[in-house]
Amino acid sequence: MGSQTILANAYHLTHRPGHERVRDLGGLHTMMDYDGPILTDSGGFQVFSLRGLQKIDDDGVDYRTHFDGSKHRMTPESVLQVQANLGSDICMILDHCPPGDATMPQMRAAMDRTTRWAERAAKSRRDILAPSQLCFGIVQGGTDLSLRAEHVQAMQGLDFDGFALGGLSVGEPVPQMHATMAEVAPTLPADKPRYVMGIGTPWDLWQAVSCGVDMFDCVIPSRHARNGQLFTWEGRFNIKGARFRDDGAALDARCPCATCRRFSRAYLRHLHDSGDPLYVRLATLHNIAFFHQFVGAMRQGIAQGNFAEVSKALFGVISAHYLPAETPHKA
């Protein structure tokens, strides 16, 4: 479809089927029969989301899984070992991601802890990871620009192959998230990949690329598809709408995906109403294809030297269909 890098969830793989089992099966590439790049997160975000089931200290995190309640411990070194066993191409360090409503002291504490954990990861990565495995650091600091600037300074001298902005899209207002990204992303090392974790609306991606971000990830294409939300160049459709029952048109005339080439809106509506699992596959296929087109246009604009023109055209789509009406903005 156009994707190269697959993101796998280290927390889930640690417990199901187990990272040592994956290792014994030859790693994720062999197990999945996929020869492209695989990025794994540390699993820390999932653990920190287990409120009431985890206890954080300066050495690491004790937690109980939401699968069976069993006890486990996560440290900067252990998450690298998990990713070494998985055979990931890009490994993320353990960081402390505070919630979107964190106070300034909480954001400061999470940032300082992330720095200490990053120092340990940078020191141990060469002993734990294979030489071919890349390791990315993560910058925290919430939406406070002074904390973010301080953390960029602390992180960029460490032995990492790329840098991510973590702690965004965790409940803060979207314009505030975009403003933080626009200020901080350009200050990350220009000779290494810049990655913003957990963003995925068309507006988010347009903003990210416009300020120099190279990578991003999100569950939006698949999660929204499951919930009946389909992204098109004419806006986002809710396939549950009654108007689609008798609509024999393709979902999106501008989309080249198999879903749009072969099936009608009415058929997708029927599959959704019937609870047929084929709906989820077809809808996800389409949503991913839409985002490939959207991001691919920006990538092509950069390569051909006409990004400003492409960006303006894409913002026209965003402002017409994907920008909240009350949000002031300009291209």
User: Which residues are known catalytic residues?
Assistant: 41, 217
Q: Which residue has the tokens 């409120």?
A: 51
**Gyration radius (Cα) of the chain, Å:** 21
Q: Which of 4, 76, 81, 78 is nearest to 38 (CA)?
A: 4
Of 19, 85, 14, 17, nearest to 47 by C-alpha is 14
102 three-class SS = coil
What end-to-end distance do the CA atoms of the chain give, in Å?
A: 29
C-beta of residue 1 within 8 angstroms of C-beta of residue 289: yes
DSSP summary character for residue 94: P
Helix axes 174-184, 202-210, angle to 10 degrees: 20
User: In this structure, are residues 93 and 79 in contact, taking their beta carbons and an 8 Å threshold?
Assistant: yes
**Using alpha carbons only, what angle is made at residue 302 by residues 134 and 151, rounded to the nearest 5 degrees?**
45
